[in-house]
Amino acid sequence: MPSKVDWPKAIQPLLKKYKDTKHPLDYKNIYQLLVMVVLSAQDSDKNINNNIAPKLFEAYPDMKALSKATEETLFPFISKVRNFGNKAKWLTEIAKTIKDDKNIPLTHEGLTALKGIGSKSANVILREAGKPAEGVIVDLHVVRVAPRLGIATGADPKKIEKQIKEILPQKDWDAGMAMSFLGREICRPQPKCEICLMNKVCEYYRTNS
């Protein structure tokens, strides 16, 4: 790694700041979260929260209702979502597999076995369900923030996740979501380094200030 920082110690303020912060998807239960996570891939949380979720969940309030949907009946509700054709297929398949909210698997393996749910999505669902982290959430914000901090290198989410998992103990794997929040609020494409609580250990700040 390029940096000599003691990351298990240095990451603590960031973990503490965002520990109880709910994911930006505005879900009411794990069923809604699962559906919204599938829909939000390559799309914005804002679009899903404001334009898609309210009407979709009015029509399909739970997994049982969704299991009776077809791709065609879903289209009117999700056609403003990127890649909606595939997502309709994945959601109907998931619902027919799971059939009931209580059957939603809450393990990384169980979730990633479902169509349309990759490692990042599974990690998000487990975090919000209060389950121990089985991986590190690496979204587009983390791909920007982690190399800036110096905790990881490169731009491949899988490789970034692997590096962070090797550096931090499992109990601190929520650092992925914490970095995502930092990326949304402060470490934006134009970062506000002066007000960032991580600037004392940040590689980018050290080399650019």
The pLDDT, as a whole number, for residue 161 is 97
The pLDDT, as a whole number, for residue 4 is 85
The pLDDT, as a whole number, for residue 163 is 98
The pLDDT, as a whole number, for residue 2 is 46
Q: Which residues of the chain have pLDDT under 50?
A: 1-3
- Residue ranges per structural domain of the chain: 7-20+135-208, 30-128
| Fold (CATH) for 30-128 | Endonuclease III; domain 1 (1.10.340)
The DSSP annotation for 102-125 comes to: GG---SHHHHHTSTT--HHHHHHH
pLDDT in tens, 132-188: 999 999 999 999 999 999 999 999 999 999 999 999 999 999 999 999 999 999 999
H or E segment to which residue 21 belongs:
none
The pLDDT, as a whole number, for residue 87 is 98
C-alpha to C-alpha distance for 192 and 69, rounded to whole angstroms: 45
The pLDDT, as a whole number, for residue 26 is 98
Contact 164/173 with Cβ under 8 angstroms? yes
| Fold (CATH) for 7-20+135-208 | Endonuclease Iii, domain 2 (1.10.1670)
Buried (b) or exposed (e) across 50-83, using 16+ Cβ within 10 A?
eebbeebbeebeebeebbebebeebeebbeebee
C-alpha to C-alpha distance for 44 and 125, rounded to whole angstroms: 17
Question: Where does the chain have alpha helices with state H?
Answer: 7-10, 12-18, 30-40, 45-47, 53-59, 63-66, 71-78, 84-98, 108-112, 119-128, 140-149, 157-167, 175-185, 203-208
